[in-house]
Amino acid sequence: MASSRTALRDTGREAAINAGRVAVALFLVVIALGVLSYRYYSLQIVEYERFLTQSDRNRVRLEAIPPKRGLILDRQGRLLATNIPSHRLSIVIERVSDLDALIKDLGALVELDENDLDSFNERRNRRRPYATVPLKLQLNDHEMARVGVNLHQLPGVAIEAQLTRHYPHGDLLSHVVGYVGRINESEASQIDEQSYRGTLHIGKVGVEKRYESVLHGKVGYQNIEANAHGRVLRVLDEESPSDGADLQLHLDLDLQRAAYDALGDQRGAVVAIDPSNGGILALVSNPSFDGNLFVNGISSKDYSALRDSTDTPLLNRAVQGQYPPGSTVKPMIGLAGLELGLVTPDTTVADPGWYQLPGDSRRYRDWILRIRGTGHAPNVDLRMAIAESCDVYYYDLARRMGIDDLASSLEPYGFGVRSGLDITSEQPGILPSTRWKRSRFDKPWYPGETLSAGIGQGYMLATPLQLAQATMVMANRGDSFVPSIVRRIGDLPVEGVSRPKVMASDDHWSAVIAGMMDVVHDRRGTAAAIGRNLPYTVAGKTGTSQVIGIAQDGVYDEDEIDERHRNHGWFIAFAPVDQPRIAVAVLAENGGGSSAAYPVARKVMDAWLLGASNAEESDDG
């Protein structure tokens, strides 16, 4: 039996089959080892650099270090714009598997409004790979705590420390200092992306915008090592940023507050200039707004309230508001009449309270007519015409001068052009002439329009800044400077830039300034009410500009006119007369007349020349 079973087995064939199987297995093993060896060689040798780079990208990333924005200080070194520490909530998109779910989870921990989500989506579209994208720019302590304890369950989420712009004086300086805000899509397309890496804010208006390149600084960089969840493990190397330069302004915080308080609830503006160099000592537009609202994105409700307000708080009346200058231009026109030889200081004009052009039956009334029923005096000379603001005198002078000579005479004072002030959105006003009207309306100039221009009405428009600049020219007897806000950039002083001198003889300057002094110091002067107990000399000029026209036989009754249609009040002044230290222009919008403006100027001049304690004493007088 055993031999028969052995006879049935084919041991040779089995050995051949086993040998074949072993050969196939060995072949497969060799192939597998070859593939593994090739792959190992490829990974370690051929593609080493590529995979090392990918690995480093997951482990090491380059992050921008934003520079610290430069501070803004007043002339005494007091902070007007600073940076305060805060924290923001950010996300690394590449570390998140379900972004919508993550944002929903975060929304349960912190308050996320529509502006936050819109800004996040806008920023994520222009982000760099593995860069954090801010979701909420400012976390309060409670929000930080809630996110912090859940951070281990929130892959890709980071709480980042940052410096946030802050304006410690709220609405006191918003129109001059301005504010920063989030970089929008339009701005992102215009700025240098590398220069603003890691920066979310940019200057929007005012000094913040005008000096953006100086305040911003230069971005720095650091290589950081992170774990698989994006948490920073260590900083590998770093290039420090260059912080923005600090700006010191000519502006004085105490004077700014005095001007702001003096306006009170009155819509209007105050501009005060240092005649020695053109530095802006105070620039107030009322009503104002709090620039802090805009830093991290103003809510729709708050912005609508500002935008839709009938008081237009976003309008910088000091440099954007354009109003008829009224009688404030009379000293400049009077000086031009003297220089052109059309009048002398002793030339008189008959004043019945109205004026007629030759061959014209229309009567151009003097403002005094409705008060006295007659003129200022039977005959008025230049000094009285300035002190009592006689319209008839200037109707006659403007007619003899003609509109083009009148415009040419006012142009050197800065009317009709932007002053060059280092701030945004300044308007040029209008200095009308025959050429201007033909270009603007394609119509000829009429003689009656010249009379209106002679008292600062009609087409003529000026900003409070332009009138302050013109007052500086009067204070310096022809010398002036380009108005400037910034006094020093870092350690570098900013020198005043001279403007072309307004040429006139000393006698003519003295004649006009004597009339301006009578405005305040003579009992019949139009601003005599502020001259009582005045311990310094002032040369000033009142002005009233119409908002709506009054028919020839009509009567201006302030009580019957809507408040928004009442006359604007103006007052310009410089003091002390012999050695001017301040030139001021005050606008009282719809204030009814100059009586709403010159008390404001008195308080501003007192604050600057006497100090706060003396100012209070003089006000009581």
**Tokens representing residue 469 in the block:** 């600049």
SS3 label, residue 226: strand
182 and 202, same domain (yes or no)? yes
Residues 6+ apart with CB under 8 A from 344: 338
Q: What is the pTM of this model?
A: 0.83
Q: In 10 A of CB 234, how many CB atoms?
A: 9
> Could you give the CA distance from residue 190 to residue 201 in angstroms, rounded to a whole number?
14
Last residue of a domain, one of 203, 228, 249: 249
User: Is the CA virtual torsion 607, 595, 266, 250 positive or negative?
Assistant: negative
Q: Give the burial string for 281-294 (b: 16+ CB within 10 Å, else e).
A: bbbbbbbbbbbbbb
Q: Structure tokens of 566?
A: 């009442």
Between CA 40 and CA 58 the distance in angstroms is 21
What burial class does residue 251 get, using C-beta atoms within 10 Å of its C-beta: 0-12 exposed, 13-18 middle, 19+ buried?
buried
Tell me the chain's radius of gyration from C-alpha atoms. 37
Span 570-592, average pLDDT: 97
Cis peptide before 576 (omega within 30 of 0): yes
Per-residue pLDDT, 41: 75
* Residue at 310 is within a domain: no
Q: What percent of the chain has pLDDT over 70?
A: 89
Residues 326 and 357 grouped into a single domain:
yes
Backbone angles phi, psi at 230, to 5 degrees: 85, 5
Q: How far apart are CA 90 and CA 92, in angstroms?
A: 7
Instruction: Give the mean model confidence (pLDDT) for residues 167-179.
Output: 96
Q: Which of 90, 119, 174, 327 is catalytic?
A: 327
CA 262, CA 260: separation in Å to the nearest integer? 5
Residues 482 and 370 in one domain: yes
Question: Which range marks the domain in which residue 330 is found?
Answer: 253-304+318-491+503-553+561-620
- The total of structural domains in the chain comes to 2
495 or 11, which is more confident? 495
Picking from 166-180, 287-301, 501-515, 569-583, which range would have the lowest pLDDT averaged per residue? 287-301
Q: What is the per-residue pLDDT across 476-507, written as a single tens digit (0 to 9) for each?
A: 999 999 999 999 999 999 988 999 999 999 99
Choose between 439 and 122: higher pLDDT: 439
Confidence band, pLDDT 50/70/90 cuts, at residue 69: very high
Structure tokens at 244: 């923005």
* Three-class DSSP category at 35: helix
Q: How far is the C-alpha of 595 from the C-alpha of 543, rounded, in Å?
A: 9
Domain end call among 249, 267, 284: 249
- Indicate whether 225 and 259 sit together in one domain: no
**Is 39 among the domain residues?**
no
* One domain, residues 173 and 278: no
Q: What is the DSSP string of 377-438?
A: -SEE-HHHHHHTT-HHHHHHHHHHH-HHHHHHHHGGGTTTS----SSS-----B---HHHHH
Residues 587 and 607 in one domain: yes
Helix ranges (H only) for 70-218 are 99-107, 114-124, 141-149, 174-177, 185-188, 206-210, 212-216
72-73/247-249 β-pairing:
parallel
Same domain, 394 and 339: yes
Q: Report yes or no on 287 lying in a domain.
A: yes
Q: Which amino acid type is present at position 617?
A: E
| Residue 334 shares a structural domain with residue 230 | no
CATH number of residue 276's parent domain: 3.40.710.10
Q: Decide if pLDDT at 440 tops 80.
A: yes
Residues 200 and 332 in one domain: no
The reply to whether 91 falls in a domain is yes
Q: How far is CA 478 from CA 335, 469, 500, 504, in A?
A: 11, 11, 8, 7
The answer to the question of residue 75 being in a domain is yes
What pLDDT sits at residue 620? 34
The pLDDT, as a whole number, for residue 71 is: 97
Alpha-carbon distance of 87 to 392, in angstroms, equals: 66
The identity of residue 582, as a single letter, is I
155 and 257 part of one domain: no
Q: Is 124 exposed, middle or buried (0-12, 13-18, 19+ CB in 10 A)?
A: middle
Give domain status of residue 52, yes or no. no
Q: Tell whether 409 is covered by a domain.
A: yes
Q: Per-residue confidence at 117, pLDDT binned at 50, 70, 90? A: confident
Instruction: Answer yes or no: 327 catalytic.
Output: yes
Locate 175 and state its tokens: 């129109």
187: domain CATH number is: 3.90.1310.10
Q: For residue 69, what are its two tokens? A: 């924005």
- Residue 332's pLDDT is what? 98
Higher pLDDT, 87 or 432: 432
The rounded percent of the chain whose pLDDT value lies above 90 is: 61
- 3 state SS of 446: coil
Specify whether 445 is located in the same domain as 417.
yes
CB 507 within 8 A of CB 339: no
Residue 539 included in any domain: yes
Same domain, 456 and 347: yes
Residues counted in the chain: 621
